[in-house]
Amino acid sequence: MNRQEIDALVKQMNVDTATGEVDQRVQSIVVRLLGDLFQAIEDLDIQPSEVWKGLEYFTDAGQANELGLLAAGLGLEHYLDLRADEADAKAGITGGTPRTIEGPLYVAGAPESVGFARMDDGSESDKIDTLIIEGKVTDTDGNIIEGAKVEVWHANSLGNYSFFDKSQSDFNLRRTILADAAGKYVALTTMPVGYGCPPEGTTQFVLNKLGRHGNRPSHVHYFVSAPGFRKLTTQFNIEGDQYLWDDFAFATRDGLVATAVDVSDQAEMQRHGLDKPFKHITFNIELVKDIDAAPSTEVDRRRASA
Ligand code: MBD
Ligand code: FE
């Protein structure tokens, strides 16, 4: 069949058959995706067994709760960032800390504090470096934003995230820090290790078919919000990781690479109440003022909460 015949068939089956109220938006998307799918079946001569394998794949990926991971791994989530950047440029919005993907591992409801939080539960203190993250939240003119909400989450020494990894304590390595009167936030935590897709999982299954790895560099996630400003979803990825520019989820971006500096100065250790050398990362955040013409930065997606 040619495209005209395919589109006519899709319309005949899914548009002309409507007898109830139609959601126009959903109808256009479904019709378009079906047409594109039928066309792909035609062009690639996709066999019935292959179609069923594909549907079974989505069943398995959904049951394993890996569809968010798949979206990250196939670059769908990064593509949405590139489109959001384009929409911002079109609306004349520039500056501010760059966005990058949320990923599938956020959990709402983390403990909240002002200015400072210790994020780790101490269970890995003996086997991994201590990390202090410090930064200032400002607008694009450098004015501090007191009370800005900085939500931070990252992986443990095995690349695993609390909640999804039930061996960790509740909200381990997840905190909400409100910027203090100087616009500052400080997190005392442990060095994250890059995530790897479950080797026997559905996402890695398809990555294997593509000859791809499923690893991320060491990174820390952020949601940053404040009244009158656009919500920022971002991360920093840490310099020196072998996957820094070879991230299976394509989240590393210019402006989002952080350097972990080794600190062994006694006075600095004491100032932070630490008895061993630590790593230090500065990550300042610039928020962009919200204007009516700005595309929304709120993304409505199902998120875990505990
Ligand atoms: C992660 O930690 C992550 O950030 C993404 C995008 C995908 C899988 C695990
Ligand atoms: Fe992550």
In this structure, which residue's CA is closest to atom 7 in ligand 1?
103
Residues 118, 61 share a domain: no
pLDDT band at 21 (very low <50, low <70, confident <90, very high): very high
Instruction: Compute the distance between CA of residue 145 and CA of residue 154 in angstroms, rounded to an integer.
Output: 24
pLDDT range class, residue 235, cuts 50, 70, 90: very high
| Domain CATH for 218 | 2.60.130.10
Give mean pLDDT, residues 205-230.
98
Is ligand 1 within 6 A of the CB of residue 216?
yes
Residue 60 phi/psi, 5-degree rounding, is: -65, -45
Question: Ligand 2 centre from 103 Cα, in Å?
Answer: 6
243 lines ligand 1 (CB under 6 A): no
Q: What is the number of the ligand 1 atom nearest to the C-alpha of 161? A: 2
Rounded distance from Cα 216 to ligand 1 centre (Å): 7
- Do residues 56 and 100 both lie within one domain? no
Residues 35, 163 within the same domain: no
> Average pLDDT, stretch 122-144?
98
User: What is residue 50's predicted lDDT score, i.e. its pLDDT?
Assistant: 98
Q: Which ligand is nearest to the CA of 152?
A: 2
Ligand 1 pocket member 69 (CB < 6 A): yes
Q: Which residues 6+ apart lie within 8 Å of 150 measured at CB?
A: 135, 137, 176, 177, 178, 179, 185, 222, 223, 224, 285
Query: What pTM value is reported for the model?
Result: 0.97
pLDDT tens-digit map of 37-53: 999 999 999 999 999 99
CA of 267 to the centre of ligand 2 (A): 33
Spacing, Cα 33 to ligand 1 middle (Å): 27
Residue that terminates a domain, selected from 70, 102, 126: 70
pLDDT tens-digit readout, 46-88 = 999 999 999 999 999 999 999 999 999 999 999 999 999 999 9
User: Is 72 near ligand 1, meaning CB less than 6 Å away?
Assistant: yes
How far, in Å, is the centroid of ligand 1 from the Cα of 124? Answer: 21
Tens of pLDDT, residues 155-193: 999 999 999 999 999 999 999 999 999 999 999 999 999
- As beta bridge partners, residue 185 has 135
pLDDT score, position 179: 99
- Same domain assignment for residues 243 and 209: yes
On average, the pLDDT of the chain sits at: 98
Ligand 1 pocket check for 104: Cβ under 6 Å: yes
First to last CA, the chain: 51
Instruction: Give the chain's domain count.
Output: 2
Q: Residues 143, 274: one domain?
A: yes
Q: Is the shortest distance between the CB of 152 and ligand 1 below 6 Å?
A: no
Overall average pLDDT of the 24-30 stretch: 98
Query: 164: domain range?
Result: 94-305
- Please work out whether the CB of residue 74 comes within 6 Å of at least one atom of ligand 1: no
Asked if residue 147 and residue 64 are part of one domain, the reply reads no
Whether residue 238 sits in one domain with residue 152: yes
In this structure, are 39 and 151 located in the same domain? no
Asked whether residue 159 is domain-assigned, the answer is yes
Whether 248 is covered by a domain: the verdict is yes
193 lines ligand 1 (CB under 6 A): no
76 within domain boundaries: no
Q: What is the 3-state secondary structure (H, E, C) of the chain?
A: CCHHHHHHHHHHHHCCCCCCCCCHHHHHHHHHHHHHHHHHHHHHCCCHHHHHHHHHHHHHHHHCCCHHHHHHHCCHHHHHHHHHHHHHHHCCCCCCCCCCCCCCCCEECCCEEECEEECCCCCCCCCCCEEEEEEEEEECCCCECCCCEEEEEECCCCCCCECCECCCCCCCCEEEEECCCCCEEEEEEECCCCCECCCCCHHHHHHHHCCCCCECCCEEEEEEECCCECCEEEEEEECCCCCCCCCCCCCCCCCCEECCEEECCHHHHHHCCCCCCEEEEECCEEECECCCCCCCCCCCCCCEEC
Q: Are residues 15 and 142 in the same domain?
A: no
Q: Does residue 80 lie within any of the structural domains? A: no
